[in-house]
């Protein structure tokens, strides 16, 4: 932790710094951000504020909901997997900001030959890049192209949903006998040739070649496989500060408080298919729930512990290279590259 504030030298005006050991967002850090947000927008009962967020778990903490309700902040979560369309920062701001930051970094290295950019230089570079990218028209275009303001409910088209067709196809597990029957039907049915036309007196097949291919090699049902493997609840758009949602969060909190306290499992070693030793957690709900450092969720699943920072992540949320002996999260990998480990 930067106790003397050197990491904030040259930062944009009114910036705040909140250290977090794992480097990931959690409820406590977001609560501090919300207080900072309230201080600047100054919402009142006659002039409330609408805050649109994604469905991260840190946005749904009970303390966050109570604070937002008490200070006239209405929080609305977006539907899952829509930030590429509904996030104004993603649509219009981040690209020019990254370009401006790269330009500022290049200029810094030219002014400081044979030196490298350290953690204490980042804030000033961010200030320079932010001043170049934070234009009013960029902010306005961000809300316009996402359909937030002016409100455009037709922002999504049918083309946007085409990739989901792969996971919408239902696949049934059939027996060997059924597969044999399908194979015989496929060969007995006349299939139109791609190079020769059918004779005029020959009837056209009722089963198209496309249907036969689907029978022999059906589309993978990824959604079904995922639902069987995960115990994760389906997310949806919610008014987080509404009374029904707040009541539901309070009931869940009371249910967790009533559970007997158990000592948190410290994890065991297990062998994966890659024959690499990786720390894995057989999860037990204890005094403190474990949040995945990638998705921020606490649902039950196989867990992996980062060898360096000792934080946990769902196995399905991380990518493990075949050459890795132990799992290291992205934050720890970045620190290793910077020589902080």
- The domain limits of the chain are 6-145, 172-218, 262-337
**Is the pLDDT score of 292 beyond 50?**
yes
Is the fold of 6-145 the same as that of 262-337? no
Beta strands per DSSP E along 119-251: none
pLDDT in tens, 255-285: 888 876 655 444 443 333 332 333 334 334 4
Quote the pLDDT of residue 46.
Answer: 96
Write the class of the CATH domain 6-145. alpha beta
**At CB < 8 A and 24+ separation, what contacts does 78-87 make?**
78/52, 78/53, 78/54, 78/237, 79/235, 79/236, 79/237, 80/55, 80/235, 80/236, 83/54, 85/146, 85/155, 85/156, 85/160, 86/52, 86/146, 86/147, 86/148, 86/155, 87/54, 87/146
Q: What percent of the chain clears pLDDT 90, i.e. is strictly above it?
A: 39
**Is the pLDDT score of 247 beyond 80?**
yes
Instruction: Tell me the mean pLDDT in the region 74-92.
Output: 90
Could you give the 3-state DSSP secondary structure of residue 107?
Answer: helix
The pLDDT-based confidence of 208 (bands split at 50, 70, 90) is low
Quote the pLDDT of residue 314.
Answer: 79
Instruction: Tell me the mean pLDDT in the region 125-139.
Output: 95
pLDDT in tens, 154-193: 888 878 777 666 555 454 444 445 555 554 544 554 444 4
Query: Which helix (H) or strand (E) is 182 found in, with range?
Result: helix 176-188
What does CATH list as the number for 262-337? Answer: 3.30.40.10
> Who contacts 60 (Cβ-Cβ below 8 Å, separation ≥6)?
77, 240, 249
The pLDDT-based confidence of 12 (bands split at 50, 70, 90) is very high
């Amino acid at each position: 932790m930067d106790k003397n504030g050197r990491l904030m030298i040259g930062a944009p005006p009114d910036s705040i710094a909140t250290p977090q050991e794992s480097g990931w967002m959690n409820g406590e850090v977001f609560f501090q951000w919300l207080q900072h947000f309230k201080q600047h927008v100054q919402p009142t009962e006659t002039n409330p504020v609408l805050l649109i967020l994604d469905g991260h778990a840190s946005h749904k903490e009970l303390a966050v909901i109570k604070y937002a309700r008490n200070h006239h902040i209405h929080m609305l979560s977006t539907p899952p997997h829509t930030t590429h369309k509904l996030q104004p920062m993603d649509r219009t701001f981040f690209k020019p900001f990254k370009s401006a930051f790269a330009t500022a970094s290049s200029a810094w290295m030219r002014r400081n030959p044979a030196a490298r950019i350290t953690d204490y230089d980042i804030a000033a570079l961010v200030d320079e890049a932010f001043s170049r990218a934070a234009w009013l028209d960029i902010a306005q275009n961000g809300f316009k192209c996402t359909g937030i303001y002016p409100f455009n409910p037709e922002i999504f088209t049918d083309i946007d949903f085409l990739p989901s067709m792969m996971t919408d196809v239902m696949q049934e597990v059939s027996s060997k006998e059924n597969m044999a029957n399908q194979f015989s039907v496929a060969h007995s049915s006349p299939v139109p040739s791609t190079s020769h036309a059918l004779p005029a007196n020959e009837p056209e097949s009722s089963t198209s070649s496309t249907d036969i291919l689907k029978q022999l090699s059906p589309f993978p049902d990824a959604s079904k496989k995922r639902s069987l493997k995960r115990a994760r609840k389906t997310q949806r758009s919610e008014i987080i500060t509404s009374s029904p949602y707040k009541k539901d969060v309070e009931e869940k909190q009371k249910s967790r408080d009533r559970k007997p306290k158990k000592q948190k499992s410290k994890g065991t070693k297990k062998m994966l298919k890659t024959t690499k030793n990786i720390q894995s957690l057989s999860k037990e709900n204890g005094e403190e729930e474990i949040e995945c450092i990638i998705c921020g969720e606490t649902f039950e699943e196989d867990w992996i512990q980062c060898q360096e920072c000792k934080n946990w992540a769902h196995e399905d949320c991380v990518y493990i290279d075949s050459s890795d002996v132990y799992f290291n999260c992205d934050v720890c990998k970045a620190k290793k590259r910077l020589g902080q480990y």
